[in-house]
Structure 1
């Protein structure tokens, strides 16, 4: 391995001093933000785009329809199954009784079935997958989660927020024992200040030890009552609760980038492999940006006649992140995460909106789901895949590059990496003290550089992989890499 960057890193970079080292413990860190990064030379943070795994669900039943939306995907560890919830809407006005909440499930997160629940009569039959009906406005945006709070009563194992603002009052709290039969926790809405005509998500935060909700607002305070145009842009606020009934006042999320995008749904959720990282596979809505030519517009107009405005806008998925306990989004990656692609049917308003929930669907694979052809006869849900932890990476091209972290403390005996290199590539790690001085036995010259592709590779030096002697002491990591991506690391 080339060592050309060692002198530069040892003597050329000015490392920032940290008043207090960051406490990592044994948690997994993803390269989705720059919280731990002090200096980079030639290295970058790279966004990775998910790959298509084909159709997951077609919204082809009469009670589902072209406006099926606001999807939630859950991995039920105890029942060893995946569960999906979504709005069925064949063209009814928002918040009316024509909207229903549908249910699907899967044994592997890949092949989905719509069970005949027998709960509600639709078109003269109960042979359907409708979970909630005649429950407007809550069926507009019902978004459940499994409550993993220790000691939660069995009858409240599932929870959800749902509802609309204005005359509808706001978001109400629902509970269920089985995820299929639901009841309100109380009649009165629990969150009342916001613009809730969207998917509003909530969850139990293991990291914060409270319930957290993310919901839609307008940065300018609402919409103009005459023109119905938004004041400012669509954005996100957050509130917390200890009991799911009494919530703190909403706090508008800040961002490290100017608030110029309309973020229609945030889909903010703890990442299953690192729950202190909140991942937002959000929808970026581009009002008034019509990119289709006139011939294509005419072709689609016949299929979208119930809602001709669909051909006047476009949208895509973007990646935002936050950390437990903060009210700030990080947007290291402003580019599209899931683009509309070459299918003209996805260059329409509200297509490409992601489902809430990133779930593991294989030893090294995770899946997310995105709506396609919204508002059209062939509306469907696509499954997309990434490697586990693979949202973004610390990246180096063929030329050798480096990164030095801020000081931190850790617990554990070994340094584990999720990494991928080319055949000519490699990753090496040097451990420094807080001042940036290489520690004996853990220098770059001692490190056994890795050339491989693995979601869990232990780094070793000449004396082995045991780093327990450094646990609890302020250290830095110096990464030297070439033709490589490092997706995450942890000490264990």
Structure 2
């Protein structure tokens, strides 16, 4: 066994040396992590197959922003799944005003399943003479304009700092807060921890398991300042206090669009992939007429633009992948969905069922009916490798895995199927793992092992560079993982 590992290590070294001379791409180490089809990171060739985005299903209203200190201009929601509790944090402000005004508070709601929510009377902060409120931060302007917390996954995080948050505007810089219970918060330090940004929307941070550091994505503008595009930059930190100089996020060869929020966070089933489910803002794209706005009772300043939800991804570094330029969640039926600053997604995707994920979206902004709405999709179901009835296939780049079996998240029609072939780096079928040896997969499964000649054991191939050929007929493959 020791000789086998030494041979594989030497082989990998040779391949990497060849790659350095431009002869071959080095193999990608994927280990046993789950891979999604939100980008082309592992794809070498597609033939009659494509990457297909899957818009979530509208599951209806979750709760209205109906407390006196909440109101029509509530926004910037964060959802955190913490053990048996789902926590929602959001800005409450009943009237339009300047960013960071004293009326802005941070509100809290709670759920046991992510579906039915309630607003507890916490008694932490008094607002307008009322003590029994769901407010967890008040009298802290401009921090409460966009206070955005996260559950710190850093294995070295103190128990008293289980939750962390950033908030603030260009006036204050980003100020860091910490909490042991997610309800009672204190400043980590009086001075802002980061000041090199605009910050006039939700600025999000998290501990990256992949990069082993804190990462923050925040609002900036492209060249031209306010005459350019609302965009995104990122900064990193080892201690949540000292941050690197900002790096503008690129979009490859895709055009700039106004991104009002980006909501970048690690996908919990594949934390090496950051999903950014953000708000695309279309300034001066007016859909609602003055007469229609009056009937909807929309604030006069908030119906000259429209917005929808887009899906982006990143694997770290200063670039997003925008494989899909189309809308991930389109505005719903009815003119109330086409006003300014509506359709802004909450931060984080959470699991709300055995096979279900939920995404939450802020809707009916600047209207008496302002509320949070829930959308659902299957686990890993953001996008898929897809082919129609005539069939198609994909060949991966060379990669190295660890594990003993291969599992797929897939669906087919009754007439469809998925078959997997494992090949060498030249694309030649490996003995015992050819298409002829592969058992067709038919059905709709979140996790199904792949078999060749009655066996799922692939451990003999672990640690060596291989490729994978995937054949599909009327089927979608959402994710795969070696285990």
What band does the TM-score fall into relative to the shorter chain? over 0.9
Query: Post-superposition shift, 1:25?
Result: 0.3
> 1:171 is matched with which residue?
174
Rounded Cα–Cα distance in structure 2 between residues aligned with 1:253 and 1:30: 21
- Pair 275,290 (structure 1): closer, same or farther in 2 beyond 3 Å: same
Residues 378-417 of structure 1 mapped to structure 2, 5 A cutoff:
378-417=369-408
Which of 395, 414, 418 is 1:423 aligned to?
Answer: 414
Which of 222, 247, 253 is 1:251 aligned to?
Answer: 247
Residues 8-407 of structure 1 mapped to structure 2, 5 A cutoff:
18-77=24-83, 80-91=84-95, 92-165=97-170, 168-220=171-223, 222=225, 230-293=226-289, 295-300=291-296, 303-305=297-299, 308-324=300-316, 326-407=317-398
Gaps of at least 5 residues in structure 1 are 1-15, 223-229
Query: Post-superposition shift, 1:463?
Result: 4.3
Rounded Cα–Cα distance in structure 2 between residues aligned with 1:36 and 1:17: 19
Query: Post-superposition shift, 1:470?
Result: 0.3
> 2:458 is matched with which residue?
467
Q: Is the 8 A contact 1:404 1:479 kept in 2?
A: yes
Query: Post-superposition shift, 1:200?
Result: 0.2
Rounded Cα–Cα distance in structure 2 between residues aligned with 1:399 and 1:100: 56
Q: Is the 8 A contact 1:370 1:383 kept in 2?
A: yes
Query: With structure 1 as the length reference, what TM-score do the two structures score?
Result: 0.92
Rounded Cα–Cα distance in structure 2 between residues aligned with 1:295 and 1:180: 43
Give the number of aligned pairs: 461
Deviation per CA, 1:174-208, whole angstroms, max 9, x where unpaired?
11111111111111111111111100000011111
Q: Is the 8 A contact 1:422 1:484 kept in 2?
A: yes
Structure 1 range deviating more: 280-289 or 89-98: 89-98
Measured on the aligned residues, the alpha-carbon RMSD in Å equals 1.2
Q: Is the 8 A contact 1:218 1:233 kept in 2?
A: yes
Rounded Cα–Cα distance in structure 2 between residues aligned with 1:17 and 1:391: 35
Query: Post-superposition shift, 1:433?
Result: 0.3
Rounded Cα–Cα distance in structure 2 between residues aligned with 1:27 and 1:399: 31
Structure 1 range deviating more: 245-254 or 186-195: 186-195
Query: Post-superposition shift, 1:318?
Result: 0.2
> 2:435 is matched with which residue?
444
Query: With structure 2 as the length reference, what TM-score do the two structures score?
Result: 0.94
Deviation per CA, 1:129-166, whole angstroms, max 9, x where unpaired?
0111111000110000011111211111110010000x
The question of 1:478 aligning with 2:469 is answered yes
Q: Is the 8 A contact 2:254 2:322 kept in 1?
A: no
Query: Post-superposition shift, 1:491?
Result: 0.2
Query: Post-superposition shift, 1:124?
Result: 2.0
Query: Post-superposition shift, 1:310?
Result: 1.3
Query: Post-superposition shift, 1:96?
Result: 1.2
> 1:6 is matched with which residue?
none
Q: Is the 8 A contact 2:106 2:138 kept in 1?
A: yes
Q: Is the 8 A contact 1:102 1:131 kept in 2?
A: yes
Query: Post-superposition shift, 1:271?
Result: 0.2
Deviation per CA, 1:73-125, whole angstroms, max 9, x where unpaired?
00002xx1110100001114321110000001100111111000001112322
Q: Is the 8 A contact 1:18 1:407 kept in 2?
A: no
Rounded Cα–Cα distance in structure 2 between residues aligned with 1:57 and 1:214: 28
Rounded Cα–Cα distance in structure 2 between residues aligned with 1:51 and 1:450: 26
Rounded Cα–Cα distance in structure 1 between residues aligned with 2:190 and 2:117: 34
Query: Post-superposition shift, 1:260?
Result: 2.5
Q: Is the 8 A contact 2:71 2:92 kept in 1?
A: yes
Q: Is the 8 A contact 2:401 2:464 kept in 1?
A: yes
Deviation per CA, 1:40-89, whole angstroms, max 9, x where unpaired?
01100000000011211210111000000000000002xx1110100001
Gaps of at least 5 residues in structure 2 are 1-21
